[in-house]
Amino acid sequence: MEVAVFSDIHANYEALKACFTWCSTRGIDHYLCLGDYVTDCPEPEKTMEMIYILRDYFKTTFIRGNREEYLLDYRDRCESGWRDGSASGSLLYTYEHLTSRDLYFFEKLPITTVWEESGYPPITLCHGTPEKSGGFMIRGRRDTRRILSSLKTGTIVHGHNHVQEAYRHRNTLCVNPGSIGIPWFHEGKAQFAILRSDGQEWTEELIQVDYDREAELTAFQESDLVKRAPAWAAITMHTLRTGRDLNQNVLLRATQLCMEERGEAVWPDIPEKYWAQALLEYRIDLQGREI
């Protein structure tokens, strides 16, 4: 049996399409999807339609990511707290391009589950950690070793941290398939994993797939996302172009600049001039290109 593991799609429709095509041409019909289906890239509608194809026509198990929790929390706060701008404009853009059907789909997803198929070893699924969608499983850390030592399955797959890798802790296999939509490293190629088993244990193959990045970058320019979250869109496009992740660097620098000049920095009220200065310091233009 072969099972594809997808995570962190982040509304990058072109990357998802390429990864799905890779799998379907090889006859794979089992998918494990680990959350963060939308936000950051400009095509949540197309991305969700493909998610529903996976749900309706293939044997797919879904769990919820931290981005889905952000969106549900915003809905439950009566749509308050977000506004246009690089701090929260991307989240707001995504929310306004989703339907009640999409939010209902997210709401019904668990943050962790155990996938079971007769004749094969079970697999634990989570986005961040089994306890928290926004948690991190970092290789070698004490908390990660604790989680792996306490599992009731011999395999766990997780996302959130976009570093594609697989390793064993004692007898437990831990697989991070990497990010389909905002991939780190590997020259920005979309990433996922294939798990294989003869019924005894699982082995992994880490896959990197190139995709039509120019089409995805064009989708940015043709959307309102670049206007509603200019610096955040630029950072995301830079990652798509290079595979280098600088979003936290730019965010922290913009926050620091705001604090230095205004004496406070309260998210999401970080004026765009500080984001623009932070981008300039990291030598990124508003198209996500290196200056």
**CA pair distance 174, 154, nearest whole angstrom:** 9
Amino acid 268: pLDDT: 95
As a whole number, mean pLDDT of residues 166-187 equals 97
The pLDDT mean for the chain works out to 97
Amino acid 289: pLDDT: 97
Domains of the chain: 2-209 (3.60.21.10), 226-281 (no CATH)
In this prediction, residue 257 has a pLDDT band, given cuts at 50, 70 and 90, of very high
As a whole number, mean pLDDT of residues 38-54 equals 98
In this prediction, residue 192 has a pLDDT band, given cuts at 50, 70 and 90, of very high
**Tokens found for residue 290:** 């290196």
**CA pair distance 31, 50, nearest whole angstrom:** 13
Amino acid 138: pLDDT: 96
**CA pair distance 201, 209, nearest whole angstrom:** 26
In this prediction, residue 287 has a pLDDT band, given cuts at 50, 70 and 90, of very high
Amino acid 4: pLDDT: 98
In this prediction, residue 197 has a pLDDT band, given cuts at 50, 70 and 90, of very high
DSSP lists the bridge partners of residue 203 as 196
Amino acid 133: pLDDT: 97
In this prediction, residue 74 has a pLDDT band, given cuts at 50, 70 and 90, of very high
Torsional class of 153: left (φ above 0), alpha (ψ -120 to 50), beta (otherwise): beta
Count the Cβ atoms, other than its own, within 10 Å of residue 208: 17
In this prediction, residue 183 has a pLDDT band, given cuts at 50, 70 and 90, of very high
Amino acid 121: pLDDT: 98
pLDDT digits (tens, 9 = 90+) for 212-231: 999 999 999 999 999 999 99
233 closest CA partner among 162, 182, 161: 182
For residue 38, give every residue at least 6 positions away whose Cβ sits within 8 Å of its Cβ, in sequence order, or none: 9, 10, 11, 44, 47, 48, 67, 68, 71, 94, 98, 102
Amino acid 203: pLDDT: 98
In this prediction, residue 56 has a pLDDT band, given cuts at 50, 70 and 90, of very high
Amino acid 125: pLDDT: 98
Amino acid 71: pLDDT: 98
DSSP lists the bridge partners of residue 62 as 33
As a whole number, mean pLDDT of residues 9-38 equals 98
174 closest CA partner among 17, 34, 22, 18: 34
Secondary structure (H, E, C), the chain: CEEEEECCCCCCHHHHHHHHHHHHCCCCCEEEECCCCCCCCCCHHHHHHHHHHHHHHCEEEECCCHHHHHHHHHHHCCCCCCCCCCCCHHHHHHHHCCCHHHHHHHHCCCCEEEECCCCCCCEEEECCCCCCCCCCCCCCCHHHHHHHHHCCCCEEECCCCCCCEEEEECCEEEEECCCCCCCCCHHHCEEEEEEEECCCCEEEEEEEECCCHHHHHHHHHHCCHHHHCHHHHHHHHHHHHHCCCCHHHHHHHHHHHHHHHHCCCCCCCCCHHHHHHHHHHCCECCCCCEC
Share of the chain above pLDDT 70, in %: 100
In this prediction, residue 10 has a pLDDT band, given cuts at 50, 70 and 90, of very high
Amino acid 119: pLDDT: 97
As a whole number, mean pLDDT of residues 109-134 equals 98
As a whole number, mean pLDDT of residues 110-114 equals 98
**CA pair distance 111, 218, nearest whole angstrom:** 33
